[in-house]
Amino acid sequence: MKVTYFGHAAFHLEMNGKHLVFDPFISPNPKASAIDLANIQADYLLLSHGHGDHVADAEQIGKRCGATVVSSFEVVSWFEGKGIKGHPMNLGGKWKFDFGMVKYVNAVHSSVLPDGTYGGNPGGFVVWDADCCFYFAGDTALTTDMQIIPLTCPKLDFAILPVGDNFTMGYEDAAIAADWIACDTIIGCHFDTFPYIEIDHEAAKKVFAARGKRLILPAIGETVAV
């Protein structure tokens, strides 16, 4: 599967002919200034939680593309109020979409929308079809709840985990998460956007390599094949 990184926690991939965009935060991110928002295609916007650094461009992309927001009930309700259609979920639930299965799983974090509206519980997504299964963790601490994923979902081919520390787990904890979710290929996100989350790339990769894991830290705009 080809995964394109738009910076911070924003990703695009195509699954069974549908365009999935995760946590779009592009226009407010000076480091992502080379990304042209108008070229991003989306059938679905999967939003892990309501924080501005995860939803900033969802309204714009959602309206232009007629995309469906998939998130917590509270985040979906907020976007429905802006005229964007949605599919509400809550923790532990899964639903078969036309591109594949989505399970909304626990994240240990907080969630409020940009205008102060309560965002419900934050989450992550496990997404799969017959060929591929991946986990987009959203913003989260390391939590033993991650150990539920290999028990309840197909074997993960890759996972997108935050590694920047301070607001989420750092790379040391993310390497433990990779063990707990039984996944060898990790794409890091939520790093280097702000001074609080700048990381040493080589040190981070070494921590994963010591556990027999591969950490990919994509450049903004890069497409990685996993």
Interface with Ni ion: number of residues (CB under 5 A): 2
* Residue in this structure with the two tokens 């063990």, named with its chain if needed: 179
Pick from 53, 57, 173, 192 the residue near Mn ion by CB under 5 A: 53
Least distance from C-beta 105 to Mn ion, angstroms? 17
Residue 60 is inside which H or E element, if any? helix 58-65
Using CB under 5 A, which of the segments 1-9, 92-100, 131-139, 211-219 binds Ni ion? 131-139
Least distance from Mn ion to the Cβ atom of residue 141, Å: 12
CB of 225 to Ni ion, least distance (A): 28
Which residue of the chain is nearest Ni ion when measured via CB? 51
Report whether 221 contacts 188 (CB < 8 A).
no
Which stretch, 9-17, 18-26, 96-104, 134-142, contacts Ni ion (CB under 5 A)? 134-142
Contact status, residue 156 vs residue 183, Cβ threshold 8 Å:
yes
Candidate residues 12, 19, 51, 190; the one interacting with Ni ion per rule CB under 5 A: 51
Contact partner, 43, from Mn ion, Ni ion, none, Cβ < 5-8 Å per class: none
17's CB contacts (< 8 A; 6+ apart) are 99
Terminal alpha carbon distance of the chain: 5
Site string for Mn ion, 11-50 (x = CB under 5 A): ----------------------------------------
Residue 157 Cβ, how far from Ni ion at the closest point, in Å?
Answer: 25
23 binds Ni ion (CB under 5 A): no
Which string of x and - marks every residue 137-156 that binds Ni ion (by CB under 5 A)?
Answer: --x-----------------
The CA distance from 60 to 71, in Å, is 17
Nearest 5°: phi and psi at 71? Answer: -170, -165
Residue 138 CB neighbour total at 10 angstroms: 31
Residue found under tokens 């679905």 = 44
Among 43, 59, 74, 139, binds Mn ion (CB under 5 A): 139
Judged by CB under 5 A, which stretch of 35-43, 48-56, 59-67, 185-193 contacts Ni ion? 48-56
| # of chain residues touching Mn ion (CB under 5 A) | 2
Give strand ranges (E) for 40-138: 44-46, 68-72, 86-89, 94-96, 101-106, 123-128, 133-136
- 182 contact partners, CB below 8 Å, separation of at least 6: 150, 155, 156
- Residue ranges that bind Ni ion, judged by CB under 5 A: 51, 139
Judged by the rule CB under 5 A, the positions of this chain that interact with Mn ion are 53, 139
